[in-house]
């Protein structure tokens, strides 16, 4: 509102960077999410590598819908940790109240990005709480991760869905079947390096 | 369209009865769904009885949204079993294609009836496939239960959510805290026996 | 964690009261939401009264899932108004960024409580922004209602769905058809006044 | 199961083609859906062309999640038209029963593909029923489009969301800001012309 204030304009890169930075600040590494993906998918794709899992987690985290959910969830966790929320909301989030389901709702908006096939994987890891999820659920630390633990499970579930879609595309490509139109479009987009050249040449 | 045709009017009782009848016809007993609920909830409520689980499953099945999803899903299973669907849809449903997610979508509309806290339970039972779910997933029978197995897991998850909400209400009632308004309203509704006494006064 | 700290236990009444209080503090009256309901429903039910609309809005607001969404959304609005959110989240919520969809996600968890039939009504009022929604969307006030305007539309949509379900139940009751089991159960619940007597006698 | 039966394998191209063919058979042209998109978006993007709208509708229709919902919905419409559904389901779908919400549920799985920002647009067109939606809702024809009319509105809403995301990407690109990672990946995918050059290197 001051004289020098720039008019607002969405900066997608800043949102993406903040997402990455806040995950790091809250102690979650991409590799840990990738380990959840590996746990969920290795029985379906025995040759799946950790590198692929990491890559797919990064692709999920590059989606705007996912970034918005991650930032909003971590924001609420942090405010709860600092004791700054309205009284009954503070209590519910601080204590990871079982009947408070907004964390699951945000998690679901993440899973949904790659379609309904990820619902099952989300529920499964959220129930078993392997690896990083166990640590995020440790209530003895004074940290609050009511949203983040669901979000991390959801990102892993979404990455698993993404792998399933991609593996099918690879299989069909091996059989000589054509690409999906959306990939064709993306493939013919202007080059990211700004040279404006046709890609892949 | 015939001369004697009655104008359409929704008959909720017929929908409820058809839901019950079709579940039975497709080989699913309420007790089997209740066993899934017991599996999901006994560690939280050690004194939970099978009778309560059965009751909560029946309450879930009495909801219109649930009945619509159950009937629609079973309808698609039956048509797939009879080979009557459009070619690619027939193949996907008959083979429980992993990248076909409409079954999960219907399941989710069931879980949602009691809120987002049931998402996790649904994913968990759908992944582990205990009890009746294992039987519904047996691909060697020639039967098609692509929708029904997800629906059964979803009904169990919804019943689990319902129990969680009710147990909290009981706890607060024991502490002398008041009921929720919606229950008060229902409690003062006209009597079900048709005597019509004390209507909303 | 201090010596005198009571162990946490969910207090549903406190959550319900905070919901009501915060709606009031943020300038939204139940009657204004009821006016949206009237706008949406009067063409289907010409004899619908404002009293009924108010009652149905109150019933929606008595649901735990709804209260959690309302409190969480208002909390984020308030923090944005005070400039206390993380940089890119602050900008997006403060400016009601069109590509930030977490407000719609929370709104949807409210609509969902009475099933998918409310989706359309929500979208409609959110687009037209009649009555109270126009005021909440006035960007010249310095107030932030990015979440609240969607939440208010969602509560109105949910109340509309509730009316549709109830009107059908009334119609069937007039025809001598039986109640839904869930209502029967509620009707036979212990009396709210704690006397433990059978209700309705 | 016969001797000569090929083992099942998902054929994504066949699913995509069936989607296109069934939309055509049921009387819906891509251009008509594009007109809904134009109606929804022209006030935000005055220079938007019909060509862009058509393109974005086609991109939405190229998504697997969308194709599955379209095929399943049309299948149920067709079976209802032929009178082949179970008694109470037949009545509800044939008469587009207002309290039957599975059509909205399928529609929502389509809108969701491009995130929650499309919820509003879906509700809006579904309520106003402009253009093709009015025709699909004409109950005097003997045709049943209970699912298809919601699906068409949902595809238009999803295409609108897609445009909003793309326009933002264009704006940021004009400012010299970088692409989203997912687009970069797609851009470096094997060439669609089958030459297989520069695969993922």
CA distance A199 to chain D (A): 7
Q: Give the pLDDT mean for C113-130.
A: 91
- Average pLDDT taken over every residue of chain C: 87
Nearest to B71 among D72, D86, D142 (CB): D86
Nearest residue on chain B to C174, alpha-carbon basis: B194
Angle at C119 between CA C117 and CA C124, to 5 degrees: 120
Contacts of D166 in chain C (CB under 8 A): none
CA distance B117 to chain A (A): 5
Whether C168 has its CB under 8 Å from any CB of chain D: the answer is yes
Supply the DSSP string of chain B, one letter for each residue: --TTPPPP---HHHHHHHHHHHHHHTT--HHHHHHHHHHHHTTT-TT--HHHHHHHHHHHHTSHHHHHHHHHHHHHHHHHHTT-S-HHHHHHHHTT-TT--HHHHHHHHHHGGG-GGGHHHHHHHHHH--THHHHHT-TTSS---HHHHHHHHHHHHHHHHHHHHHHHHHHHHHTTPPPPHHHHHHHTSPPTTS---S---
CA distance B88 to chain D (A): 6
Whether C177 has its CB under 8 Å from any CB of chain D: the answer is no
* Binary contact (D101, C123; C-beta < 8 A): no
CA distance B139 to chain C (A): 32
Nearest in space to D35 (alpha carbons), one of D115, D166, D125: D125
Nearest residue on chain C to B189, alpha-carbon basis: C187
Nearest residue on chain C to B11, alpha-carbon basis: C172
Question: Is a pLDDT exceeding 80 seen at residue C182?
Answer: no
pLDDT computed for residue D189 by the predictor = 38
Nearest to C105 among D98, D108, D116 (CB): D116
What does the block give as tokens for A105?
Answer: 């709702």
pLDDT computed for residue B116 by the predictor = 87
CA distance B183 to chain C (A): 6
pLDDT computed for residue C200 by the predictor = 28
Neighbour subunits, D (≥3 Cβ pairs < 8 A): A, B, C
CA distance A52 to chain B (A): 19
Residue at token pair 């698993």: A160
Question: Is a pLDDT exceeding 60 seen at residue C183?
Answer: no
What does the block give as tokens for B14?
Answer: 């017929």
Sign of the CA dihedral with A16 first, then A20, A25, and A27 last: positive
- Counting residues of chain A whose pLDDT is more than 70, the rounded percentage is 86
Per-residue pLDDT tens over the stretch B57-93: 999 999 999 999 999 999 999 999 999 999 999 999 9
In this prediction the ipTM stands at 0.89
Residues 101-120 in D contacting B (C-alpha not used; CB under 8 Å): 101-102, 105-106, 109
Contacts of A123 in chain B (CB under 8 A): 119-124, 126-127
pLDDT computed for residue B192 by the predictor = 35
CA distance D64 to A158: 15
CA distance B29 to chain A (A): 23
Residues in CB range of B145: below 8 A, 6 or more apart: B26, B77, B136, B137
* Binary contact (D1, B69; C-beta < 8 A): no
Contacts of D5 in chain B (CB under 8 A): none
Nearest residue on chain A to B115, alpha-carbon basis: A101
Nearest to C180 among B10, B62, B190 (CB): B62
CA distance B187 to B169: 15
Nearest residue on chain A to D168, alpha-carbon basis: A10
Sign of the CA dihedral with B18 first, then B19, B22, and B28 last: negative
* Binary contact (B87, D18; C-beta < 8 A): yes
CA distance B25 to chain D (A): 13
Question: Is a pLDDT exceeding 70 seen at residue C186?
Answer: no
Residue at token pair 């509102």: A1
Residues 45-104 in D contacting C (C-alpha not used; CB under 8 Å): 98-99, 101-102, 104
CA distance A88 to chain C (A): 6
Number of B/D CB contacts below 8 angstroms equals 95
Contacts of B79 in chain D (CB under 8 A): 75, 79, 84
Cα A60 to Cα A102, B182, D144: the distances in Å are 21, 40, 39
pLDDT computed for residue D199 by the predictor = 27
**Positions in chain B whose pLDDT score sits under 50:** 1-2, 183-184, 186-201
Neighbour subunits, C (≥3 Cβ pairs < 8 A): A, B, D
* Binary contact (D176, A194; C-beta < 8 A): yes
Confidence of residue A78 (pLDDT cuts 50, 70, 90): very high
Contacts of D16 in chain A (CB under 8 A): 180
C157: DSSP letter: H
pLDDT computed for residue B178 by the predictor = 64
The 3-state secondary structure of D12-64 reads HHHHHHHHHHHHHHCCCCHHHHHHHHHHHHCCCCCCCCHHHHHHHHHHHHCCH
Per-residue pLDDT tens over the stretch D53-82: 999 999 999 999 999 999 999 999 999 999
Contacts of A102 in chain C (CB under 8 A): 68-69, 72, 106, 109
Number of A/C CB contacts below 8 angstroms equals 94
* Binary contact (B189, C187; C-beta < 8 A): yes
* Binary contact (D101, B68; C-beta < 8 A): yes
pLDDT computed for residue C176 by the predictor = 80
Radius of gyration of chain C (CA): 19
Nearest residue on chain C to A91, alpha-carbon basis: C8
Contacts of A25 in chain C (CB under 8 A): none
Q: Give the pLDDT mean for A19-45.
A: 97
* Binary contact (A98, B117; C-beta < 8 A): yes
Residue at token pair 């029946």: B58
* Binary contact (D116, C102; C-beta < 8 A): yes
Domains and CATH numbers, chain A: 12-179 (1.10.3760.10)
Per-residue pLDDT tens over the stretch A48-71: 999 999 999 999 999 999 999 999
Contact B156, B37 (CB under 8 A): yes
Contact B152, B133 (CB under 8 A): yes
Select the more confidently predicted residue: D180 or B112.
B112
The secondary structure element, H or E, covering residue C118 is none
Burial class (CB in 10 A: 0-12, 13-18, 19+), A59: buried
Q: Give the pLDDT mean for D103-117.
A: 93
Backbone angles phi, psi at D98, to 5 degrees: -65, -25
Nearest to A99 among C1, C10, C100 (CB): C10
Contact B56, B37 (CB under 8 A): yes
Confidence of residue D116 (pLDDT cuts 50, 70, 90): confident
């Amino acid at each position: 509102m001051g004289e020098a204030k720039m008019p607002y304009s969405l900066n997608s890169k800043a949102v993406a960077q903040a997402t990455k930075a806040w995950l790091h600040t809250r102690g979650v590494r991409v590799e840990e999410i990738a380990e959840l993906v590996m746990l969920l998918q290795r029985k379906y794709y025995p040759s799946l590598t950790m590198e692929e899992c990491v890559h797919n987690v990064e692709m999920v985290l590059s989606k705007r819908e996912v970034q918005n959910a991650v930032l909003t969830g971590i924001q609420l966790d942090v405010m709860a940790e600092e004791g700054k929320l309205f009284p009954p909301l503070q209590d519910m989030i601080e204590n990871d109240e079982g009947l408070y389901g907004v964390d699951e709702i945000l998690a679901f908006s993440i899973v949904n990005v790659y379609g309904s096939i990820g619902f099952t994987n989300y529920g499964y890891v959220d129930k078993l709480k392997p690896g990083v999820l166990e640590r995020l659920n440790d209530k003895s630390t004074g940290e609050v991760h009511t949203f983040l633990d669901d979000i991390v499970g959801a990102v892993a579930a979404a990455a698993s869905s993404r792998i399933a879609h991609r593996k099918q595309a690879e299989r069909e490509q091996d059989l000589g079947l054509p690409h999906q139109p959306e990939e064709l479009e993306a493939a013919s987009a202007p080059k990211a390096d700004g040279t404006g050249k046709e890609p892949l040449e």
